[in-house]
Chain A
Amino acid sequence: MTEELEPLSDAVQAALTAERVHTVAPNAELVGRLRASLDAAAMASAVAAPTAGAVAATAVGVPKAVLVAAMVGTTVIAASAGWYAREKTLPPPRERIVEVEKIVRVEVPVPAAPTEVAAKPNRIERPAPAVETPAQRSAQLSKENALLEMARSALIAQRPQDALSALDTHGKAFAKPLLTEEREALRIRALLQAGRKDEARAKFSQFETQWPHSIVSESLRSALSPP
């Protein structure tokens, strides 16, 4: 079928080449707007997460399934948040980093507060598992995101050891983390940046096994492949 196509003239080929190599970076307004919309959609997904399916998934210890179910199940909310965010200004990235520091100082060990519940038994029962209510889910996601943002900032600043420390902290801080996939993807990048390529490849192999449909697999694979 292809051979029936009329070949393109040299002049057209030259024009096509010029068009292909002409890359225009998207303007800052669009980048900021998209980031704000995606952040809003992520927040909407997190807040609206505990649907029946999501809670069931949490109960059997499949935190990532919760997130995916939330994203799929809250399309309208997420879209609305996205459109709303379009009209808003993107919060400066530095704000997020400041908040990260605040959260890390205050939090870290065990998200639930069993002692408080034990001291005041008349209050609403609060079972031990970390993620139960939408508010708790939102709070945990926020804390997890904060640590991952620290790691990301460290990577941008070419400080892979700091990134790995933040990721290790994340690994220890949450009994049932919701952002394990994101953390491990960042870990692979941090190991690569630290020159620990063999470890990065080994981690990626585990990553592929655990999240065979991850959207970031392609970019990680290309980062791991030799130039």
Chain B
Amino acid sequence: MVAVTSLPPSPQPQSVAADIWQAYEAELGPVCAFLRRCGARDAADLAHDTFMVAFQRRATFEKGRPLRPWLFGIALGLWRNQQTKASSVRETDAPLPEVADLSPSLDESLEQRRRREALARVLERLDTDQRVAFVWHDIEERPVAELAENLGVPTNTIYSRLRIARQKVNAAFAAQARKEVS
């Protein structure tokens, strides 16, 4: 006679806690935009991985710190690791990334779109480190010290990169303006 042992409960599908998903979902767009602005060609995949890493590290998230820069830091780390692994040389002549993201929205004027496209072209010509510093500080409006902490480099290094980036961006826009006048 075989005793019928009780079957273990079949595993039920789990889902991530509702509030975590809400917090993550709200940041998904900004993280994608940040990665795209930094020059990541596979921003969607990297954004996906960013949130997976964030989920795994959620116990280390410090109270009182905003979620976005923490996510940006993770995203930046993943992207840089990917670049290191691929040993990729920057493709300064590569076409603009994410053309779809540059499509005008219904409420966006042609002029605004032209400005964004001009900025994207200029960013493409920046050195990666300079570009990241410019995106972090001048587009995302995050403190320089925050980026320095994320990258593990002195604050002065970031300022130096940012200074060069600003000079290049200003010069490129000035050159474009002269070209349009002539």
Contacts and interface: CB of A to CB of B under 8 A. Distances in A.
Interface of A: 1-2, 4-6, 8-9, 11-12, 14-16, 18-27, 30-31, 33-35, 37-39, 41-43, 46-47, 68, 71-72, 75, 78-79, 82, 86, 91, 96, 99, 103, 113, 116, 120, 122-124, 133, 135-136, 138-139, 141-143, 145-146, 148-149, 151-152, 179, 181-182, 185-186, 189, 208, 212-220
Interface string B148-174: 000000011001001100110110011
Contacts of A15: 115-116, 118-119, 173
A160 B25 CA distance: 21
Interface stretch (B53-61, B74-82, B87-95, B124-132): B53-61
Contacts of A8: 138, 166, 169-170
B14 A139 contact: no
A39 B63 CA distance: 24
A138 B9 contact: yes
Contacts of A138: 9, 11-12, 14
Main SS at interface, chain B: helix
Main SS at interface, chain A: helix
B84 interface: no
Contacts of A148: 17-18
A18 B112 contact: yes
B173 A123 contact: no
B6 interface: yes
B16 interface: yes
Interface in B1-51: 3, 5-6, 8-9, 11-26, 28-29, 32-33, 37, 44, 47-48, 51
Contacts of A135: 8-9, 11
A124 B115 contact: no
Nearest to B15: A39
A215 B115 contact: no
B19 A142 contact: no
Contacts of A30: 28, 32, 44, 47-48
Contacts of B37: 19
